[in-house]
Structure formats: structure tokens, C-alpha cells
Amino acid sequence: MLDLAKNNRADKFLFISSGAVYGTLDNSLSKVREDYTGNVDITNVRSCYAESKRIGETMCICWSHQYNLHVNMLRLSHTYGPVYRIK
């Protein structure tokens, strides 16, 4: 997708990432800043998802610098389906 954006001279590229890039959060943190590098346990069977999001973000930054591609990244966290209101 990044090559497609570059080759077609796209104005912008949007990458939908995930809060999983932070890995296991320290319980002492009340807020997580974007520059927090996180802690992903690579021996955990679920770590492949977090690592894939991290490499996706890394590739976006590389394309941004190498090809002057404007990249926006969103880290969605705890996003679920339709809203249900309890009355």
C-alpha cells in the first residue's frame, strides 16, 4: 500500500494502527504518551499482532522520510461495535 501511494504520488497516507503497539502496560501509568515505547513480550503467542502494528508504523515513517510521503497514523484502542444504551 505504501508503494502504491508513493508510485501514484498520493497526497497523504493513513495507517490505522492499534494501542497494542504499547504491549503490556505498567500498572503505574495513568496515561500513555505516544513516545512511550512499550513492552512487547515476543514469546507471547499474541505478540505477532502488536509486532505487526509496530513494523507497520516503522515502515510508514521510513516511507515518509525516504519518499516525502505525508503519513498519518492513528492508534485506536478499545474500539468496539455499535453503541448500546442501557435504559
For residue 76, the one-letter residue type is L
- pLDDT band (50, 70, 90) for residue 83: low
User: Quick check: is 56 in a domain?
Assistant: yes
Please tell me the distance from the alpha carbon of residue 83 to that of residue 42, in angstroms, as a whole number: 34
Residue 12 parent element (H or E):
none
For residue 3, the one-letter residue type is D
Catalytic residue from among 49, 67, 80, 84: 49
User: Quick check: is 81 in a domain?
Assistant: no
User: Quick check: is 86 in a domain?
Assistant: no
Q: Does residue 67 carry a catalytic annotation?
A: no
User: Quick check: is 37 in a domain?
Assistant: yes
Q: Identify the domain containing residue 54 by its residue range.
A: 2-76
User: Quick check: is 60 in a domain?
Assistant: yes
In 28-84 the beta strands, taken as DSSP E runs, fall at 71-76
CATH code of the domain in which 57 resides: 3.40.50.720
User: Quick check: is 22 in a domain?
Assistant: yes
User: Quick check: is 68 in a domain?
Assistant: yes
| Whole-prediction pTM | 0.77
- How many structural domains comprise the chain? 1
Over the stretch 30-70, which tens digit does the pLDDT of each residue have?
777 778 777 888 888 888 888 999 999 999 999 999 999 99
